[in-house]
Amino acid sequence: MKTETFAYHLGDTTFRGYLAYDAARAGKRPGVLVVHEAWGIGEHVQQRAERLAERGYVALAVDMFGEGRQAASNQEGLAWSAGLRNDLPTLRARIRAAFDALAGLPEVDPGRIASIGYCFGGTTSLELARSGAPAAGVVSFHGRLETKSPAEPQQVKARILVCTGADDPMIPQAQVQAFIEEMSRAGADYQVIVYGGAKHSFTNPRAGERGIEGLAYNQLADERSWNAMLSFFREIFGD
């Protein structure tokens, strides 16, 4: 497996992602964007990108903050991510820049690209879908489901999988229901899986180290949601 820092650009800003793929594998294959949590690109999404590369995908861990920046504190990361959530044109432009960069790689089939994300990254992946981008699918793991710009009817091209925790205080059931109603109005192809006992950041083994109430790793929900994503990929990619 080959891994490398992968630079791409939007305007005057350079973004430094983490690319993982099997260099010995011939032919074009599906590509997957992997979008980080509020703290910036780090080991969690890099490891997930590597796991996807082991399965034959070309995976790009995305840099949403520019220059590969990682937050020095919880407060800084939450401020950066909130700033982008409140500036959807910029957020959508940045994830689309990563999408286009991945689609342009010679190893990638541009017609078979998905975006997955964790917490802030899940929100970002859903905004890629809401924007009407030609993604095959998007997956949100414990991402916020609310938006300042709901999807318009027939706008969403990507199929959607949402994996959320029943005990996540940041994504209450009212937010889940509002998302379902939004996607139904938009005519989107979506599915929502709710994991009992799971809190926010349930896929990250180091979630508890943040010291934020409501964040906790849940191994069973992590494994189940990963397997649900793999099944979803078999459906949208046909492999």
In sign, the C-alpha dihedral spanning 101, 105, 110, 113 is: negative
What is the CATH number for 35?
A: 3.40.50.1820
Tokens matching residue 186: 């938009």
Domain limits at 103? 2-237
By three-state DSSP, how is residue 168 classified? coil
Categorise residue 54: left if φ over 0, alpha if ψ from -120 to 50, beta otherwise: alpha
The number of folded domains in the chain is: 1
The pLDDT averaged over each successive group of 10 residues in the chain (239 residues) is: 97 98 94 98 97 98 98 97 98 98 98 98 98 98 98 98 98 98 98 98 96 97 98 94
Distance CA 103, CA 192 (A): 27
* Residue matched to tokens 């990638």: 108
pLDDT for the residue 209: 95
Tokens matching residue 183: 């996607």
Distance CA 209, CA 224 (A): 23
Distance CA 17, CA 15 (A): 6
Neighbours of 4 (CB within 10 A): 11
pLDDT for the residue 220: 98
pLDDT for the residue 226: 98
